[in-house]
Amino acid sequence: MRTPVCERLGCELPIFAFSHCRDVIVEVTKAGGFGVLGASTVSPAQLEAELRWIDDHVHGRPYGVDVIIPTTYDREAEREGEDLARLIPQAQRDFVDGLLAAEGVPQLPEDERLRVQQEIVQGRGGMTPDGARRLVQVALQHLGVRMVVSALGAPPPDVVQALRERGIAIGALCGKPQHAIRQREAGVEVIIAQGTEAGGHTGEIATMVLVPEVVRACGPGVAVLAAGGITQGSQIAAALALGAEGVWCGTLWLGTRESELEPFEREVLFGARAEDAVRRRARTGKPVRMLKSKLSEAWEQPGAPAILPTPLQGILYNEAHARVVRAQRKDLYSFPVGQSVGSLEGETSVKDEMVRLQTEYLDAVERLASINRDL
């Protein structure tokens, strides 16, 4: 399964794991894959602590960091030290409070409310170009970081230059071949072609259609990874057949015991089907594929207030989400997941998943070889 991107980044397997959870990153990386830590929801100080911990556990193996660099966002929210919670209009707060009160979801105890709000505000502040720059500055200090990936837009020239000077590979997610061309021109070397099936911010083109289009658009010199809907080894074989050099998975790791989710949250995921993963703007202000619930659907109803720009909608939504999780309300629970959530059946471990993916990949390749032999 070793492909050129493994040489480029120094990993053994072209299995890339996106996760916000450092334990997942460490386990995937130790198993020969390449873990990429989602940094967009933490403050620079928290990121520093997470990367130190990862460095201490991966025994010198390479890993990556992912930041969100949106092209459209609330400009006021970008100012460092800005009190972001202050920028959320009262009418929007009243809408969410009214909804949760009608559903009987209690407020968080005051100390917990303040702690959660501070965490969310500090983290969401990273979802602007300058916020992302502050996170990249932290990543640059860690020798284990071999790739920095940007989502929602190509990295700006100063970020590209800083990463190049340190010999760190530059990656970016794309949902259209046109994005890939712009990213290649901006200096991106690893392009993650992410289909609409994926969890998180997604476009509208399916992985099966997108990957070969992006491979063709990028031409030689750029490694393309396939993302969106991949949880089986046979899909890795398919992705490589489409011209990708590897796969990039997100939803798969949510079902592992190493993931950041609480057991209650994982249970909701195990009961979900592919069609429960819908694209909504309620979570961040931009289309995110996420689990359908009364909360995700609230902004779709007539009379709902306008969705706020990034990162303000994310602050509003995540404060509500924290109350839902504390109250363990399955009917209101929503989290970013891809359509492959339907294939998660019960708790596993990262190590077991890495072994399963490789075994299934070999079976798939053997099956294809036997078809050719039998012809």
Ligand X SMILES: Cc1cc2nc3c(=O)[nH]c(=O)nc-3n(C[C@H](O)[C@H](O)[C@H](O)COP(=O)(O)O)c2cc1C
Q: Check residue 5 for interaction with ligand X (CB under 6 A).
A: no
Q: How far is the CB of 172 from ligand X (least distance, A)?
A: 9
| Six-digit token string for 66 | 């992912």
The β-bridge partners of 191 are 172, 224
- Reference 154, options 137, 171, 132; nearest CA is 171
Q: Give 99 or 173: the residue with its C-beta nearer to ligand X.
A: 173
Q: Could you say which of 249, 268, 298, 364 contacts ligand X (CB under 6 A)? A: 249
Contact flag: residue 100 with ligand X (CB under 6 A): no
Q: Binding residue for ligand X (CB under 6 A) from 44, 171, 228, 233?
A: 228
The order of strands in the sheet holding 277-280 is 200-201, 288-291, 277-280
- CA–CA distance, 252 with 370 (Å, rounded to integer): 29
Part of the chain binding ligand X (CB under 6 A), chosen from 234-242, 246-254, 262-270, 301-309: 246-254
CA separation for the pair 210, 214 (Å, rounded): 6
Q: To the nearest whole angstrom, how small is the minimum distance from the Cβ of residue 249 to ligand X?
A: 4
Give the side-chain half-sphere CA count within 13 A for 27.
19
Q: Give CA–CA dist 279/256, Å, rounded.
A: 23
Residue 355 DSSP SS3: helix
Could you give the angle at the alpha carbon of 352 between the alpha carbons of 347 and 353, nearest 5°?
Answer: 80
Least distance from ligand X to the Cβ atom of residue 367, Å: 23
| DSSP H helix total and E strand total for the chain | 15, 11
Binding to ligand X (CB under 6 A): which residues in 170-189?
173
Binding mask 279-318 for ligand X (x = CB under 6 A): ----------------------------------------
Site string for ligand X, 328-357 (x = CB under 6 A): --------xxx-x-----------------
Residue with Cβ nearer ligand X (194 or 256): 194
Instruction: Please identify, among the stretches 56-64, 117-125, 222-230, 303-311, the one whose residues bind ligand X according to the rule CB under 6 A.
Output: 222-230
Does 258 interact with ligand X (rule: CB under 6 A)?
Answer: no
Site pattern 137..156 for ligand X (x: CB under 6 A) = --------------x-----
Of 266, 282, 244, the closest CA to residue 361 belongs to 244
H or E element in which residue 324 lies: helix 312-327
Which residues here bind ligand X, judged by CB under 6 A? 18, 38, 40, 66, 68, 151, 173, 194, 197-200, 227-230, 248-252, 336-338, 340
